[in-house]
């Protein structure tokens, strides 16, 4: 973990954010974060995926959000949620091709604030899980800053980072594309999903995480800080 991430994950940064947060984000910070020494099997994760109009949080916007909870080392589909998000600018043609989401789909969708009001209570007291988490943290943090005056900070596990550690540990060179969600899933004998949207990818990430922690420790005694990014 680089110095930048260390600062972002630090207690100091959290206090700083908490002091400035308003609205639902203030309530989010009222609930204590999950302690890193707790066992993975005792805590709940929010596997989350965003679809955006591009990769730059400063310029691009969130157009869909999907999440699902992991409890007792199981992906609980009853908690699955999926929202399209109405952006302020038009969706460019190239990102529409990737996501299959066009302006017409988004016209009736809620705005990001409506979605954050649902999401922030879900994240409170849980651990965020994402595949390449800087994107999710970057976009959600940016939106929080704009709406509620402070960034979003919470314990985060990144399945891409875990996969990288596996690869480094085994000391094998890896091919391009090896860290893609689909390819990692294949490696763990997980099924391919045909649909590509924020919720399917959130579920796909959650299942990959189950495989990754089972590989590290089948009994469920692993502590959170062993997998934090």
Partner 1 sequence: MSLELKDIRDFLAAHHPFDLLPDADLDQIPARLTARYFRKGSVILQPDITCLHLHIVRTGAVETQSPDGHLLARLSEGECFGVRAMFRGGKAANRITAIEDTLVYQLPESDFHELARKHPQFAYFFELMGGARLRGGMQMAEDRDEDQLKLMSLQVSDLIARDVVSLPQSATLREVGQHMSKERVSCLLLTDDSGKIAGIITDRDLRNRVVALGMDYATPAADIMTRDPISITPDAYAFDALLTMTRHNIRHLPVVAAGGDTPVGVITTTNLLMRQSLSAVYMAGQISKMDTADDMAGVIAQIPELLRQLIDAGATSQNAGHIVTTLADTVTSRLLELAEKKFGPPPVPYVWLAGGSQGRQEQTAISDQDNCLILDDSYDAGRHGDYFRDLANFVCDGLNTAGYVYCPGEMMAKTDKWRQPAATWHQYFTNWIQTPEPKALMLCSVWFDLRPIYGKASLYEQLHRQVVPMASGNRIFLAFMVGNAQSHQVPLGFFRNFVMIRGGEHDRTLDMKHSGVVPIVDIARIHALGNGIAAVNTSSRLQAAIHTSSISAQGARDLMDAYEFISITRLKHQVAQIRSGDRPDNFLRPESLSAFERSHLKDAFNVIKTLQTALESSFGKSGT
Residue placing its CB nearer to partner 1 in the complex, 5 or 217: 217
List the one residue from 211, 222, 223, 226 that touches partner 1 (CB under 8 A).
211
Q: Is 47 in the site for partner 1 (CB under 8 A)?
A: no
Report in angstroms how near the CB of residue 56 gets to partner 1 at its nearest. 26
Q: Is 214 in the site for partner 1 (CB under 8 A)?
A: yes
* Binding residues among 94-153 for partner 1 as defined by CB under 8 A: none
Report in angstroms how near the CB of residue 209 gets to partner 1 at its nearest. 9
Residue placing its CB nearer to partner 1 in the complex, 211 or 222: 211
List the one residue from 77, 114, 146, 168 that touches partner 1 (CB under 8 A).
77
SS (H, E, C) the chain: CCHHHHHHCCHHHHHHHHHHCCHHHHHHHHCCCCCCCCEHHHCCEEEEEEEECCCCCCCCCEEEEEEEEEECCEEEEEEEEEEECCCCCCCCHHHHHHHCCCHHHHCCCCCHHHHHHHHHHHHCCCEEEECCHHHHHHHHHHHHHHHHCCCCCCCEEEHHHHHHHHHHHHCCCCCCCCCCHHHHHHHCCCCCCCCCCHHHHHHHHHHHHHHHHHHHCCCCCCEHHHCCC
Binding interface with partner 1 (CB under 8 A) = 66, 71, 73-78, 80-82, 188-191, 193-195, 197-200, 203, 206-207, 210-211, 214-215, 218
């Amino acid at each position: 973990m680089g110095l930048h991430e260390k600062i972002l994950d630090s207690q100091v940064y959290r206090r700083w954010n908490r002091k400035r947060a308003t609205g639902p984000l203030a309530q989010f910070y009222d609930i204590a974060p999950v302690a890193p020494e707790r066992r993975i099997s005792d805590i709940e994760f929010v596997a989350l995926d965003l679809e955006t109009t591009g990769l730059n949080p400063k310029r691009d916007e969130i157009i869909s959000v999907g999440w699902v909870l992991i409890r007792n080392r199981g992906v609980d589909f009853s908690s699955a949620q999926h929202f399209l998000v109405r952006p302020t600018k038009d969706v460019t043609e190239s990102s529409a091709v990737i996501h299959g989401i066009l302006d017409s789909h988004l016209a009736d969708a809620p705005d990001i604030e409506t979605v954050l009001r649902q999401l922030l209570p879900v994240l409170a007291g849980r651990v965020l899980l994402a595949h390449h988490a800087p994107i999710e943290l970057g976009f959600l943090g940016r939106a929080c800053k704009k709406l509620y005056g402070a960034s979003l900070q919470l314990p985060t596990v990144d399945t891409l980072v875990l996969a990288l550690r596996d690869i480094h540990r085994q000391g094998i060179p890896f091919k391009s594309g090896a860290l893609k969600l689909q390819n990692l899933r294949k490696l763990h004998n997980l099924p391919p999903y045909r649909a590509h949207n924020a919720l399917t990818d959130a579920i796909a990430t959650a299942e990959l995480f189950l495989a990754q922690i089972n590989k590290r420790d089948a009994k469920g005694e692993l502590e959170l800080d062993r997998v934090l990014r």
